[in-house]
Amino acid sequence: MCTALCTCPIMTDGVTAQCCALAPLYGNKERNICKKKKTKANEKIKMTERSSSDSEDDNFSLRDSDEEDYDTFAERITQEILEEEEFERELLEETDRQKADTKKTEMNPSPLKPKEEMVVGDWAIVKFDGKTTTRYFIGQIIEFDQGEPIFKYVKSSSSKNGQTTCKQPTREDVSSVPMEDIVTYLPPPTTGRRGDIIFKMDLSNWTLE
């Protein structure tokens, strides 16, 4: 038991309890030693509290750093996603262009002839550029006027089963065509029982008149 003269508080490390228990057996010298032990114990507690506080500060700083790192990481991932989407979009556009070029190549059954090789009877697709649209027609060369071909046109009727059927217009349609407006030459067509002109290919993508 602590005596009335002992001022030591109860400690959890057992140091003070020991001092209080022995206090009646010692004099002033021993009591001073007890006080020194008490002071050291208090300093140890303060150091522990300070260390704990520093640790909390470090943890807080670490959390701040982690949050900053997360924001940077999120921004980088977002940027990578946007770049990947842009790359995929450009790749898709390039693929579409290649498909369109391939389709046009497939629709061009024969290469353009030099002007000096064109002859009466050749068939071709020709174009007429308007202010906002381009119109396409199928025609046959019927003659030349000062070296420029003159076409007689037929009217496109239908395209199905891999072939295009044309009919003679009720009113004859004839005009001269500059070389640059000849889109492509066509192989000779066959003639149906009703006088239809049949090309053994699907020309519907040309939006023929």
Range of the domain at 184: 115-206
Q: How far apart are CA 183 and CA 68, in angstroms?
A: 62
Residues in the chain: 209
Number of domains in the chain: 1
- Answer whether residue 155 is part of any domain: yes
pTM of the model: 0.46
pLDDT digits (tens, 9 = 90+) for 65-114: 555 577 787 888 888 888 888 888 877 877 766 665 555 544 455 556 66
- Answer whether residue 62 is part of any domain: no
One-letter amino acid for residue 149 of the chain: P
- Answer whether residue 74 is part of any domain: no
Strand-pair partners of 186: 123
Q: How far apart are CA 15 and CA 29, in angstroms?
A: 17
- Answer whether residue 41 is part of any domain: no
pLDDT digits (tens, 9 = 90+) for 172-200: 899 999 988 998 888 889 988 788 899 88
Q: What is the pLDDT of residue 99?
A: 61
**Once rounded to an integer, what is the mean pLDDT over residues 116-139?**
88
Cα distances (angstroms) measured from residue 105 to each of 98, 115, 151, 155, 205: 10, 21, 23, 23, 12
| Residue in the structure block whose two tokens are 């032990």 | 37
- Answer whether residue 29 is part of any domain: no
- Answer whether residue 76 is part of any domain: no
pLDDT digits (tens, 9 = 90+) for 38-77: 454 455 445 555 555 555 555 545 455 555 577 787 888 8
